[in-house]
Amino acid sequence: MVTPWEELDGEQQRRESRKMELYAAMVSNLDHHVGRLVEYLKAQALYDNTLIVFMSDNGAAAEDFFGNPTWEEYYEYTRANYDNAFENMGKPGSFVSYGTPWAEAGSAPFQRHKGYTREGGITAPMIIAGKGVTRGGVKSSAYLTVMDLAPTFLELAGADYPAGGTIQPMRGESINDVLNGRSDIVHEENYVTVHSHGGRSLIRKGNWKLTNLNRPFDEAEFELFNLELDPGETTNLADSEPDKYQEMLELWRVERKALGIVLPQDL
């Protein structure tokens, strides 16, 4: 539940503004130290042979271990050991999280945040520079996942992924053709992505995505979205596109079993 900004009183707005000020300061601090690392690589003549990948692991984090009692033991611990008085926020001895409101704002225009299989929970920024990247300064909308990083690194290093035995094959694909300008896409339109986490799941094929919002997981709760036309996942197309919905549902059933995603009805 996010309270609109204009409904917060003056003190609440003051504290929320301070949370974002601290977040912005942390981002600035991180940027400074990444710059230090880059300068070191250059000084050691290593920069021209280094690929730098900067990314987030998920959407904006909404956890507030100090301000949200639903986190139970974390809440009790932080309350007992830290001081989040306004004057102390950001100092040693404080434990400040920016919480759900700023997480929702930070994920915009996507819906939800970390922990959800909506785009706001899984879409992450990524910056790549260095060895093998010839398209500097270019913003790409090519669809890729974290699974594509390992084959990218192996290809750049001239290494092979082991095969045979009990070793599972990699599901990703190298993104080097996008980095060097030979292609604008990583995956063909029929590429399938499946993800399941904490009772929330998704399957994506091309621009079509089937996903649920609430827990516990129930296939009947799946909603269908066209991400090209509706990246904010505002319009459920399950009823208006019944054939596509059924196609995606059947694909989900096949793919989740192949990945070992087990549901109660399987037992």
Q: What is the CATH number of the domain that holds 229?
A: 3.30.1120.10
* Judgement on whether residues 64 and 81 belong to the same structural domain of the protein: yes
* Judgement on whether residues 218 and 151 belong to the same structural domain of the protein: no
* Judgement on whether residues 203 and 98 belong to the same structural domain of the protein: no
**Which of 63, 61, 65 lies closest to 75, judged by CA?**
65
**Based on the structure, what is the number of domains in the chain?**
3
In a domain, 154, yes or no: yes
What's residue 136's pLDDT? Answer: 80
In a domain, 128, yes or no: no
Structure-block tokens of residue 204: 């994506």
Backbone angles phi, psi at 43, to 5 degrees: -65, -30
In a domain, 127, yes or no: no
In the three-class reduction of DSSP (H, G, I as helix; E, B as strand; rest coil), residue 149 is classed as: helix
In a domain, 104, yes or no: yes
Nearest 5°: CA angle at 208, between 203 and 210? 40
- C-alpha torsion sign, points 208, 213, 217, 219: negative
pLDDT digits (tens, 9 = 90+) for 64-105: 999 999 988 899 999 999 999 999 999 999 999 999 999 999
What's residue 57's pLDDT? Answer: 86
* Judgement on whether residues 106 and 148 belong to the same structural domain of the protein: no
* Judgement on whether residues 17 and 111 belong to the same structural domain of the protein: yes
* Judgement on whether residues 26 and 107 belong to the same structural domain of the protein: yes
Check if the beta carbon of residue 98 is closer than 8 Å to that of residue 20.
yes
* Judgement on whether residues 206 and 177 belong to the same structural domain of the protein: no
What's residue 35's pLDDT? Answer: 96
Residue 135: pLDDT band (50, 70, 90) is: confident
* Judgement on whether residues 64 and 113 belong to the same structural domain of the protein: yes
In the three-class reduction of DSSP (H, G, I as helix; E, B as strand; rest coil), residue 179 is classed as: helix
Among the three residues 77, 102, 122, which one is the final residue of a domain in this structure? 122
In a domain, 142, yes or no: yes
Distance CA(110)–CA(116), nearest Å, equals: 11
What mean pLDDT comes out for the span 186-213?
95
Distance CA(82)–CA(67), nearest Å, equals: 11
What's residue 263's pLDDT? Answer: 87
E-strand spans in the chain? 51-55, 126-130, 192-197, 200-205, 208-211, 223-226
Structure-block tokens of residue 90: 């950001």
* Judgement on whether residues 177 and 194 belong to the same structural domain of the protein: no
The 8-class DSSP code of residue 170 comes to: P
Check if the beta carbon of residue 241 is closer than 8 Å to that of residue 209.
no
Among the three residues 153, 168, 187, which one is the final residue of a domain in this structure? 187
What's residue 80's pLDDT? Answer: 96
- Average pLDDT across the chain, whole number: 94
In a domain, 224, yes or no: yes
Among the three residues 99, 122, 145, which one is the final residue of a domain in this structure? 122
* Judgement on whether residues 86 and 153 belong to the same structural domain of the protein: no
Distance CA(15)–CA(4), nearest Å, equals: 14
Instruction: Answer with the residue of higher pLDDT: 41 or 132.
Output: 41
In a domain, 151, yes or no: yes
Residue 1: pLDDT band (50, 70, 90) is: confident
What mean pLDDT comes out for the span 183-188?
95
In a domain, 230, yes or no: yes
Backbone angles phi, psi at 122, to 5 degrees: -125, -20
Confidence check: pLDDT of 217 > 80? yes
* Judgement on whether residues 105 and 17 belong to the same structural domain of the protein: yes
* Judgement on whether residues 179 and 197 belong to the same structural domain of the protein: no
In the three-class reduction of DSSP (H, G, I as helix; E, B as strand; rest coil), residue 55 is classed as: strand
Q: Which domain holds residue 241?
A: 189-259
